[in-house]
Homo-oligomer: A and B are copies of this chain.
């Protein structure tokens, strides 16, 4: 990595899919161009935040004109690496693995699921949406043979480490980890962990927010009264 380039913060990265989705919707609605102010209203980030975020990646948009929706959509897709086909496999064909295989949305965005893998002989040979469930013994061979670049881990947490170990010796460059295990892999593999419970905690926080605000206000008032 060049030292001339500041690493883009994860907070910015996490907002990119929102831009991508919003611009995709605008394209569908035949909107040609949009200002950062208008984008701000749709996305709920400030206009200056949006300009800052996009400045990380180059110069898009023009003063007084705004952004060309189609070109910005395409640029963000490129930044997200969506302009190339990703070949994906899912390890674990239980409920979670099957549920993931059923998401047609992944394919729409260029993530093609080639196969699922499992140890259960009752599952091996079956198909989910025409995607075959294979024997996990074939995992490394299949990955290298088919240039798979992303592996999804949908096995129980206590099996995740051995799967990661096998994957480390293949050409896989990214692991999408649904298990709770903290995986150790070689430096060449990027691991993205899905912690569903974080999202449940966020819901719980938001349900609790009003009560929380009352509590904080009471504390503040108490402090003022005690002065």
Contact = CB atoms under 8 A, between A and B. Distances in A.
B96 A200 contact: no
Contacts of A216: 5, 57-58
Interface string A149-190: 110000000000000000000000110100010000000001
A4 B218 CA distance: 11
A205 B80 contact: yes
Interface in A1-31: 1-2, 4-5, 8, 10-11, 13-14, 16-18, 20-21
Given A16-B205, A79-B205, A103-B197, 15 more contacts: A14-B202, A80-B205, A82-B204, A86-B204, A95-B95, A96-B96, A100-B196, A106-B197, A109-B197, A150-B203, A174-B203, A174-B207, A190-B203, A190-B206, A194-B199
A137 interface: no
A127 interface: no
7 contacts: A4-B217, A16-B205, A17-B201, A58-B216, A81-B207, A150-B204, A176-B200
Q: What is the oligomeric copy number?
A: 2
A63 interface: no
Determine which residue in A5, A17, A21, A86 has the highest number of CB atoms from chain B within 10 A of its CB, and name it.
A17
Contact of A202 (B17, B149, B199): B17
Interface of A: 1-2, 4-5, 8, 10-11, 13-14, 16-18, 20-21, 57-58, 79-82, 86, 94-96, 98-100, 102-103, 105-106, 109, 111, 149-150, 173-174, 176, 180, 190, 192, 194-210, 212-214, 216-217, 219-220
